[in-house]
Chain A
Amino acid sequence: MFRFASLVVAVLLLTVPLAQGQGNDPLSFNRLMPSPDTRNAPPAEDGIHDAASEGTHMLQTPREAFQPLPESNAGNYVDWVTALQEEHITPRFDLNDPTRRPTVMDLNIVREVKGSMPDVVFPHKEHTEWLDCSNCHPAIFIPQRGANQMSMAEIMLGEQCGACHGRVAFPVTDCRACHSRPKDGAQAAGGQ
């Protein structure tokens, strides 16, 4: 009897949010898959700005700012690295000197990972376009081969790569952006 009652309550509660003005988008019930037209909402509709505040309506809307920028599938839905490389944006590298350019270091670090995921290729080039060496070294990463133990669990909790990836740089749901170098056949089959 109780089981039946709880089932009825569960079904009722489940159907209520589905019925409430979700439009015709079949995926709209899934909070992990926001429909494209709800992305980059203007500040007044984004759930954290106070729509009653005058300032909220004076702010630039992300949609307007992102319109000329290359797209991606996650985060801000902007491919920031390409936007910078193709000079859609020209952010300053120095607070006061707009002509100063970063010292770019072109060095890939390959990290062989356990399991069957492709190995991780870390490109210094894309990172040094945005960052200074001291942003990562030595506090987040010891600049020495083999000195940094990493795990996806720690990354998802905001350590190591997770200091930025999952916070401001593309999120860790974009697996293949980092796990990009396939292992050779024998290695992949052995799961190492």
Chain B
Amino acid sequence: MTTTSRSVISSGAERAGRRWSRRLAVLLLPLAVALPPGTADAEYADVVLNRLSEAADMAPVIFPHWFHRVRFRCKVCHSDSELGFKMRVGANPMDMQRLQEGEYCGACHNGQIAWGLENCELCHSGKMGLPTHIKGGHETSGPGRW
């Protein structure tokens, strides 16, 4: 008997909780729609690199995939035998020291194949505060992934 009444009480509380969460959702939904997506207009596959930049008072790096794929096939940068970039944002431990030694971006950005590393602001041209990420296709910039 007691168990039954307790379950009745708890289900009543649950109902009230659900009502409140529904009200909250109604209030929050337009907020989510109204917020600017931020990177909505960035070019597909643009990569923001901000593992070290901002901590060193530099703007984050923007890597435009499109610009590079016009000039090089994927394999040139993404092969272990050449530049060795892993196909995961954040998986490549780049820093200016390694770039100067000719690793990663430094293999081309040395004044020979592409502009040299002294042109800081051409790469470090991102907005402060952007997290390291890639602009993808199926994600909606909305509140959830799905």
Contacts and interface: CB of A to CB of B under 8 A. Distances in A.
The residue in B34, B81, B123 that gathers the most chain A C-beta atoms within 10 A of its C-beta is B34
A16 interface: yes
Contacts of B40: 31, 34, 47
Contact-residue bracket for chain A: 35 or more
Interface residues of B, number: 65
Interface of A: 2-3, 6-7, 9-10, 13-14, 16-17, 31-32, 34, 38, 40-41, 43, 45-50, 53-56, 58-60, 62, 65-66, 74-76, 78, 80, 89, 91-95, 102, 129-132, 134-135, 156, 158, 163-168, 170-173
B78 A131 contact: yes
B110 to A, nearest CB: 12
A135 B125 contact: no
Nearest to B140: A32
A31 B37 contact: yes
Contacts of B37: 31
A121 to B, nearest CB: 20
Nearest to A41: B41
Nearest to B68: A91
Given A13-B34, A41-B41, A59 B134 contact: no
Contacts of B145: 156
Nearest to B124: A55
Contacts of A45: 41
A14 to B, nearest CB: 5
A137 B107 CA distance: 25
Given A55-B122, A102-B75, A48 B34 contact: no
A80 B134 CA distance: 19
28 contacts: A6-B26, A13-B30, A17-B34, A31-B141, A41-B43, A47-B38, A48-B42, A48-B127, A49-B62, A53-B121, A55-B122, A55-B125, A56-B125, A59-B122, A62-B43, A65-B67, A92-B76, A93-B75, A93-B76, A95-B107, A95-B113, A134-B80, A134-B81, A166-B136, A166-B139, A171-B136, A172-B137, A173-B138
Contacts of B26: 6-7, 10
B112 to A, nearest CB: 10
Contact of B122 (A17, A58, A76, A78): A58
A178 B61 CA distance: 33
Interface stretch (B4-12, B44-52, B92-100): B44-52
A56 to B, nearest CB: 5
Interface in B9-29: 23, 26-27, 29
